[in-house]
């Protein structure tokens, strides 16, 4: 049997591996209520997600009247505290995700995550969902320090290093993910079912998938 073309496949978390919109939306609305703002409809929260919790909160505050910079740090901490306590109530793998992870594992691929979510929250979420042991590395937006979150390439370079090196590809859903992969020199696949910040076909990825059933065949083709 021909060897699978990638040794490592890395994933973004929110909007790529996991549909976290409902839990993130509840935390966002908790923070907005403390700021005296109207809640965001949970079906609409996806447009604010991307770049981490601080960026999500900032986007929603801008949309609802502006950001009070003096109050922002405490409001962000309230959001994170609420989210941490309610992190896996509704969040789940996107359809086909478990079978896709099994298929890559069967090919001997090392799986990793590089997310702008804080590392401790990412680890806690995967642990609560029983998924943590699947990943050789989980790298968060604060793992490597300031200025290293996506779209900087640092997290993806670290991902490859922690997985022992080899040929890697990345899967994401936003300009943060595609930009980081391009800067790191990795092939990148976009998920049309994610929380994208521009139409998936315009993200500049090497391929776009509509369901995780498509990922292994597309990676094989790209290889």
Task: Give me the pLDDT at residue 43, please.
Answer: 81
Residue 14: closest CA among 52, 57, 42, 59: 52
Task: Give me the pLDDT at residue 44, please.
Answer: 87
Q: Whole-prediction pTM value?
A: 0.93
Verify that 110 and 64 share a domain, yes or no: no
Verify that 136 and 146 share a domain, yes or no: yes
Task: Give me the pLDDT at residue 1, please.
Answer: 58
Task: Give me the pLDDT at residue 50, please.
Answer: 77
Residue 197 falls in the annotated catalytic set = no
- The secondary structure of residue 145, as a DSSP letter, is -
User: pLDDT tens string for the chain (223 positions)?
Assistant: 579 999 999 999 999 999 999 999 999 999 999 999 999 998 889 889 877 889 999 999 999 999 999 999 999 999 999 999 999 999 999 999 999 999 999 999 999 999 999 999 999 999 999 999 999 999 999 999 999 999 999 999 999 999 999 999 999 999 999 999 999 999 999 999 999 999 999 999 999 999 999 999 999 999 8
Verify that 118 and 216 share a domain, yes or no: yes
Verify that 151 and 165 share a domain, yes or no: yes
7, 12, 23, 173: the active-site residue:
12
H/E element, 10: strand 8-11
User: What is the domain extent for residue 99?
Assistant: 8-20+91-222
Task: Give me the pLDDT at residue 11, please.
Answer: 98
Verify that 35 and 114 share a domain, yes or no: no
Verify that 51 and 126 share a domain, yes or no: no
DSSP 3-state assignment of 135?
coil
Instruction: Assign residue 80 the CATH number of its domain.
Output: 1.10.150
Verify that 96 and 177 share a domain, yes or no: yes
With respect to residue 3, please indicate whether it lies within any of the assigned structural domains.
no
Verify that 151 and 209 share a domain, yes or no: yes
Do residues 162 and 139 lie in contact, with contact meaning Cβ atoms separated by under 8 Å? Answer: yes
Verify that 12 and 30 share a domain, yes or no: no
Verify that 108 and 134 share a domain, yes or no: yes
133-to-6, 59, 128 alpha-carbon distances in Å: 20, 33, 11
Verify that 100 and 157 share a domain, yes or no: yes
């Amino acid at each position: 049997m021909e060897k699978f073309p990638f040794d490592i496949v890395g994933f973004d978390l929110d909007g790529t591996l996991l549909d976290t919109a409902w839990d993130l939306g509840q935390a966002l609305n908790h923070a907005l209520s403390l700021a005296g703002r109207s809640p965001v409809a949970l079906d609409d929260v996806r447009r604010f997600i991307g770049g981490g919790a601080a960026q999500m909160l900032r986007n929603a505050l801008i949309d609802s009247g502006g950001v009070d910079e003096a109050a922002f740090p405490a409001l962000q901490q309230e959001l994170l505290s609420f989210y941490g306590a309610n992190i896996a109530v509704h969040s789940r793998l996107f359809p086909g995700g478990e079978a896709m992870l099994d298929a890559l594992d069967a090919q001997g691929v090392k799986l990793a995550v590089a997310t702008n979510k804080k590392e401790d929250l990412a680890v806690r979420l995967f642990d609560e969902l029983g998924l943590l042991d699947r990943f050789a590395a989980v790298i968060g937006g604060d793992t490597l320090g300031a200025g290293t979150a996506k779209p900087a390439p640092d997290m993806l370079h670290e991902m490859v290093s922690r997985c022992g090196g080899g040929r890697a590809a990345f899967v994401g859903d936003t300009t943060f993910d595609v930009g980081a992969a391009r800067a790191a020199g990795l092939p990148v696949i976009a998920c049309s079912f994610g929380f994208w910040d521009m139409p998936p076909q315009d993200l500049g990825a090497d391929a776009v998938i509509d369901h995780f059933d498509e990922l292994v065949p597309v990676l094989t083709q790209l290889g």
